[in-house]
Amino acid sequence: MPVFRVALVIVAVLTAAVLAFPQLMPNGIGHLGSLVETFLPWLALAVPVLLGLAWWRRSAAGALAALLPVAAWFAQFGGHLLPRGEQPHHMVAVQHNVSDENTDPAGTARTLIAARPNVIGLEELLPAALPAWEAALHAEYPYRTVHGSVGLWSRFPLTETAPVDIRPHDVGPDWNRGLRAVARTPHGDLAVYVAHLPSVRIRAGGFDAVRRDESAHRLGAVLAAEPLDRVLLLGDLNSTVDDRGLRPVLSLMAAPPRDFAFSWPARAPLARIDQILTRAMTVTGIHALPRTGSDHLPIAARIRL
């Protein structure tokens, strides 16, 4: 078999292997494993390239090998495409990074309210814009707490509101991007966290997720010490549920149903880095809401207590 065709088969097999077993990708060099896991569904774009090359070189073996990543993709993500009927739920939660450049808080609030959530977690709240957010949300959500740049609005009374320190070691005390509150629901109390983990960047040295991972470890430690059984986490975690960087959090929380519900970037969503995670509760459905004045899409989840 010519070298080109052998290479084609090898690339197809490796692509299928990464799709099926992304955890085998090393993370020690440039956080390569986290980067691949963040955009894992998009490895399917290799398939038309492989098929095109196989057709060009008239390689039946290459064409057959290209079907391996197709099978691996459907094994991982095929369930995302299946229709799901709406299942019983007790509450709806919305998570949204509203963007510190959002010039339309009122319009954004209308989009969030239209989903009829019981609780709303927001990130990137600027002090100057806070009165506009309060005016837009207060009528429907009379209970709220804001700490730093994160906030929680609720139809349920909130108690025990407090900031949560998830700062990486090299940032100052003015970096306040976590909070906790207890929501008094008709079905009992639940702890609600709102968090915004540090951003990640793709640099010359690779995928820079060091601060994000450190903050995830700190958030995981707080969640591990949470005394209430029922826990709801709303946040821009700058990570997908497939990314090993979130393991300190995901090991303590339940991920929502397997679905795409991409939230970022809003213009052409590629990944869901906004998360709604639960403990001792069940997310029965999750979906993205219409675009707002943010570079993220809002995410809504139906939750069964």
Domain edges within the chain: 3-77, 91-304
Q: CATH number of the domain at 91-304, please?
A: 3.60.10.10
Check: CB of residue 92 under 8 Å from CB of residue 284.
no
Task: Give the end-to-end CA distance of the chain in Å, rounded to a whole number.
Answer: 59
On the 0-12 / 13-18 / 19+ scale of CB atoms within 10 A, 224 is exposed
Token duo for residue 281: 């509760």
Helix residue ranges per DSSP H, 21-103: 32-38, 46-56, 60-77
Helix, strand, coil distribution of the chain in percent, nearest 5: 35, 25, 40
Answer positive or negative: Cα dihedral of 113, 114, 115, 117.
Answer: positive
Q: Please give the distance of CA 208 from its chain centroid, rounded to a whole number.
A: 17
Task: Output the DSSP codes for 199-229.
Answer: P-EEETTEEE-HHHHHHHHHHHHHHHT--SS
Q: Which amino acid is at 78?
A: G
Check: CB of residue 127 under 8 Å from CB of residue 121.
no
Tell me what pLDDT residue 1 has: 52
Q: Which of 278, 253, 248, 273 is nearest to 261 (CA)?
A: 273
Cα(171)–Cα(210) distance, integer angstroms: 13
Cα(280)–Cα(132) distance, integer angstroms: 35
Token duo for residue 78: 């095929």
pLDDT values of the chain reduced to their tens digit, one per residue, 305 residues: 578 778 889 999 999 999 999 988 998 888 889 999 999 999 999 999 999 988 888 888 888 999 999 999 999 898 877 777 677 899 999 999 999 999 999 999 999 999 999 999 999 999 999 999 999 999 999 999 999 999 999 999 999 999 999 999 999 989 999 999 999 999 999 999 999 999 998 877 778 899 999 999 999 999 999 999 999 999 999 999 999 999 999 999 998 887 889 999 999 999 999 999 999 999 999 999 999 999 999 999 999 99
Check: CB of residue 41 under 8 Å from CB of residue 73.
yes
Quote the pTM value: 0.92
Token duo for residue 107: 């319009």
Check: CB of residue 59 under 8 Å from CB of residue 5.
yes
> What CA–CA distances, in Å, run from 291 to 1, 107, 241, 255, 274?
51, 10, 22, 23, 14
Instruction: Using alpha carbons only, give the angle 20, 24, 26 rounded to the nearest 5 degrees.
Output: 140
Residue 181 makes CB contacts below 8 A (sequence gap 6+) with: 145, 152, 154, 158, 159, 160, 161, 162, 191, 192
Tell me what pLDDT residue 202 has: 81
